[in-house]
């Protein structure tokens, strides 16, 4: 086949998914940085007051003024260039045509370290990289470069370089070339390029191998063995197991040995589970395009060939983990770990999937993730919760608890079992009581408490106090600030307090914050001011390694010079945000709000706190009525007594109802003091609760309170006097105390 006929035949090839995937992936590089857009001005002039006449002049001026440190002029020129909205591929041509390629790279790197130029430089860098990748991934360009693989030496080198730049996008056409029976030279060159592409070629080639005919399977097994990446192992083992062709089995075994001889004895299902775990953990080696908006899903049909589909990066890893776990379950239906991976990935997909996004890996008419979670039952979902706890995935932990609560009995909730590959016995729901997020703590306590456990378990002493804390402290927000400078601390403290946070005392290190953090239920936000860039990774490790802050979102406010590097390093982190220290107060506030929302669902609002309090009080009431010995409600008395003074309305009534069911004198005394300090309908309600307590546990009031009851019984308010008289009867007072009421009636008004 000639080079020209190859190009002609492959420009109309049937892999329609490639172009769709390319178009989707192209949007991954769209210049959508808000800061850069805000930096664009419609009209600016150079220092000399003469508007630059061409894009080429503007680019040269941007480079020149940046390099001589005239950043104000460089910013004006850069804004004008971006305001003209060149397409990414046109921008690449612009850079290349001016001969400024090397100087452009160096200048952009320098500008990224200047606060006023960083958004502009970032936008230009994105545009340049986008243009280069769009060109490399263009199907026609790929076909043309494959055609050049058998041309001149210089042409082969250039074509190979461009195909490697296209990476995963070039694999379908390279696969076609690899199987071209009429052109042995092209087959050899295509194989060499595929091996050079490396890890990005593994999943598409493996996908094709599983569904291909024996000749292609044998050829692909050899190529995968040459690439040598572990991601191919489960597919090779699968083909070795399922193929009836001895040559295919031999080639698969040869490739497995080449990649990892120790994998020869592993079960196929276990190899799929191992790879699914790598996707679930979003390992870098299974992420082809880190930082891009789209990744690629692959499918293969003999008639259609190898096709790609673009999928949002936010749900890509979950889609792959689910796909691999499904295959593991097909091979071994008893695998609890495969089921757990599938359930966890599906819940996380639902959490992370953008609103309104049509996920190609999860059709919209398929049931929601919670349906499968509750169908699976408590055992697998405890395994999902264990994963969430280990990964400090707060939103997944909450979803897991919600599913467990719907299906598990009291024994299943707290029973120890082995979860994951470590083999150690765990109690995930009990572990969640100590998870560094109050929502997770409250919801695990409520799940355990509402189940009315009948047997003791380690950690039972934390359940009732956690529910009591939900009554009193759910709406509180706590923030810690790491700052060496007291003035900077006070400035950020003022912003956070304006947002409703209780801010802990200043600490310049986590060691100094250890005491203040131990005194609050949980820390909802940590702000690190001007962290040392060289030590920032260690700071993150320290915060993550401390049990009470392991899941706490971290907002780092850093100097302009360190900002670009730290931002790139942590741009994929959901619980770390990097911002310049010079941003205004409202930007600090918004950054903190967005971060906490993404990491944990946001602070607990007033309505949500009220709901937690109501659920906790209902559960405590039920525990008191059943006199549950495993979760004694008496452990909640002190916080509930404090809540009685702080709350109003229905919440106060619910608190009083629980206290009336507690067999302790201090509970009855607190209720009566609250009644004395109230008036109207609330006083009547509280008197009635004291009567409930007295009827269950006898008279435990102090003498001063008894006298007050008798006074209230003579009130001119009919409802109040009747309630007090009923209470007096419940107290079993001596006749001498009751005689004044009998002889004098209720004629005396007492307030």
Candidates 205, 212, 219; CA nearest to 247 is 219
pLDDT score at 30 = 36
pLDDT score at 36 = 36
pLDDT score at 738 = 65
Mean pLDDT of the chain: 87
pLDDT score at 423 = 64
pLDDT score at 19 = 33
Question: pLDDT digit string (tens) for 325-351?
Answer: 999 999 999 999 999 999 999 999 999
pLDDT score at 22 = 33
**What pairing do the DSSP bridges indicate for beta strands 525-529 and 576-580?**
unpaired
The larger pLDDT score, comparing residue 430 to residue 742, is at 430
DSSP secondary structure string for all residues of 416-477: -EE-SSS--EE-HHHHGGGSSSHHHHHHHHHHHHHT---S--TTGGGHHHHHHHHHHHTT-E
pLDDT score at 165 = 92
Query: What mean pLDDT is predicted for residues 92-111?
Result: 83
Tell me the pLDDT band of 422, cut-offs 50, 70 and 90.
low
pLDDT surpasses 90 at 671: yes
Tell me the pLDDT band of 353, cut-offs 50, 70 and 90.
very high
For the whole model, what pTM was predicted? 0.80
pLDDT score at 633 = 93
What CA–CA distance (Å, rounded) separates 70 from 80?
16
Cα within 13 Å of Cα(352), Cβ side: 22
CATH number of 203-266: 1.25.10
pLDDT score at 325 = 98
Tell me the pLDDT band of 744, cut-offs 50, 70 and 90.
low
* Strand residues in 118-225 grouped as ranges (E): none
pLDDT score at 402 = 95
pLDDT surpasses 50 at 736: yes
The percent of residues above 90 in pLDDT, for the chain, comes to: 62
pLDDT score at 249 = 96
Tell me the pLDDT band of 96, cut-offs 50, 70 and 90.
confident
Contact of 340 with 387, CB cutoff 8 Å? yes
Candidates 157, 149, 153; CA nearest to 6 is 149
List Cβ<8 Å contacts ≥24 apart for 497-505: 498/589, 499/589, 499/592, 499/593, 500/603, 501/477, 501/525, 502/476, 502/477, 502/478, 503/478, 503/479, 504/478, 504/479, 504/480
Spell out the CATH class of 476-603: alpha beta
Contact of 452 with 476, CB cutoff 8 Å? no
199-213, 298-312, 384-398, 562-576: which range is least confident on average? 562-576
pLDDT score at 516 = 92
Query: How far is the CA of 48 from the CAs of 11, 26, 77, 120, 682, in angstroms?
Result: 50, 38, 12, 21, 77
pLDDT score at 561 = 78
Query: What mean pLDDT is predicted for residues 225-241?
Result: 97
Residue count of the chain: 751
Tell me the pLDDT band of 691, cut-offs 50, 70 and 90.
very high
pLDDT score at 421 = 62
Q: How far apart are the first and last CA of the chain?
A: 107
């Amino acid at each position: 086949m000639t080079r020209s006929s190859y190009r002609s035949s492959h420009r109309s090839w049937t892999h329609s998914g490639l172009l769709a995937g390319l178009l989707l992936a192209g949007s991954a590089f769209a210049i959508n940085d808000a800061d850069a857009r805000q930096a664009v001005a419609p009209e600016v002039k150079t220092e000399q007051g003469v508007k630059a006449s061409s894009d080429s002049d503007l680019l040269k001026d941007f480079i020149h003024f940046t390099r001589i440190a005239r950043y104000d002029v460089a910013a004006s020129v850069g804004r004008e260039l971006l305001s003209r909205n060149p397409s990414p591929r046109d921008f690449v041509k612009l850079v290349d045509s001016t001969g400024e390629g090397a100087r452009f790279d160096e200048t952009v790197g320098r500008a990224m370290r200047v606060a006023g130029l960083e958004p502009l430089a970032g936008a230009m860098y994105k545009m340049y990289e986008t243009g280069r990748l769009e060109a490399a991934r263009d199907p026609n360009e790929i076909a043309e470069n494959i055609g050049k693989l058998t041309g001149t030496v210089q042409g082969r080198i250039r074509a190979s370089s461009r195909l490697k730049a296209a990476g995963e996008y070039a694999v379908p056409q390279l696969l076609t070339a690899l199987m071209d029976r009429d052109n042995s030279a092209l087959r050899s060159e295509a194989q060499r390029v595929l091996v050079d592409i490396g890890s990005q070629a593994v999943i598409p080639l493996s996908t094709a191998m599983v569904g291909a005919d024996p000749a292609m399977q044998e050829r692909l097994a050899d190529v995968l063995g040459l690439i040598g990446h572990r991601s191919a192992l489960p597919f090779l083992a699968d083909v070795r197991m399922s193929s009836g062709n001895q040559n295919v089995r031999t080639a698969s075994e040869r490739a497995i040995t080449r990649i990892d001889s120790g994998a020869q004895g592993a079960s196929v299902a276990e190899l799929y589970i191992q790879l699914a775990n790598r996707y679930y953990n979003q390992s870098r080696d299974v992420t082809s395009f880190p930082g891009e908006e789209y990744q690629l899903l692959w499918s293969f049909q003999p008639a259609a060939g190898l096709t790609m589909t673009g999928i949002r990066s936010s749900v890509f890893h979950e889609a792959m983990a689910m796909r691999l776990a499904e295959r593991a379950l097909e091979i071994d239906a008893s695998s609890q770990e495969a089921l757990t991976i599938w359930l966890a990935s599906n819940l996380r997909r639902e959490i992370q999937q953008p609103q309104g996004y049509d996920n190609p890996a999860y059709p919209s008419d398929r049931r929601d993730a919670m349906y499968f979670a509750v169908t699976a039952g408590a055992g697998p979902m405890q395994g999902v919760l264990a994963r969430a706890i280990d990964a400090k995935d707060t939103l997944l932990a909450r979803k897991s608890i919600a599913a467990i609560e719907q299906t598990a009995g009291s024994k299943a909730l707290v029973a120890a079992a082995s979860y994951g590959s470590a083999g150690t016995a765990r109690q995930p729901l009990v572990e969640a009581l100590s998870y560094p997020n109050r929502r997770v703590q409250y919801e695990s306590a409520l799940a355990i408490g509402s189940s009315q456990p009948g047997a003791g378990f380690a950690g039972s002493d934390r359940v009732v106090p956690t529910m009591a804390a939900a009554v009193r402290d759910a709406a509180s927000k706590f923030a810690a600030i790491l700052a060496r400078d007291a003035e900077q601390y006070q400035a950020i403290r003022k912003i956070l307090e304006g947002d409703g946070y209780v801010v802990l005392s200043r600490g310049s290190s986590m060691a100094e914050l250890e005491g203040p953090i131990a005194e609050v239920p949980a820390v909802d936000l940590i702000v690190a001011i001007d962290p040392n860039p060289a030590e920032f990774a260690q700071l993150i490790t320290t915060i993550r390694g401390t049990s009470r802050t392991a899941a706490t979102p971290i907002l780092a406010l850093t100097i302009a010079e360190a900002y670009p590097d730290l931002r790139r390093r942590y741009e994929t982190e959901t619980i770390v945000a990097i911002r310049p220290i010079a941003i205004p107060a409202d930007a600090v506030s918004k950054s903190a709000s967005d971060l906490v929302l993404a990491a944990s669902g946001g602070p607990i609002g007033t309505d949500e706190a009220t709901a937690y309090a109501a659920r906790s009080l209902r559960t405590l009431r039920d525990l008191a009525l059943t006199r549950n010995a495993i979760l004694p409600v008496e452990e909640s008395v002190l916080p509930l007594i404090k809540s009685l003074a702080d709350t109003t309305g229905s919440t106060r009534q619910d608190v009083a109802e629980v206290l009336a069911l507690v067999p302790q004198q201090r509970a009855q005394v607190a209720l009566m003091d609250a009644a004395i300090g109230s008036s109207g309908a609330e006083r009547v309600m509280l008197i009635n609760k004291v009567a409930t307590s007295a009827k269950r546990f006898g008279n435990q009031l102090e003498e001063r309170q008894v006298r007050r009851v008798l006074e209230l019984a003579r009130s001119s308010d009919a409802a109040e006097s009747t309630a007090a008289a009923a209470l007096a009867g419940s107290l079993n007072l001596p006749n001498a105390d009751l005689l004044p009421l009998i002889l004098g009636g209720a004629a005396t008004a007492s307030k």
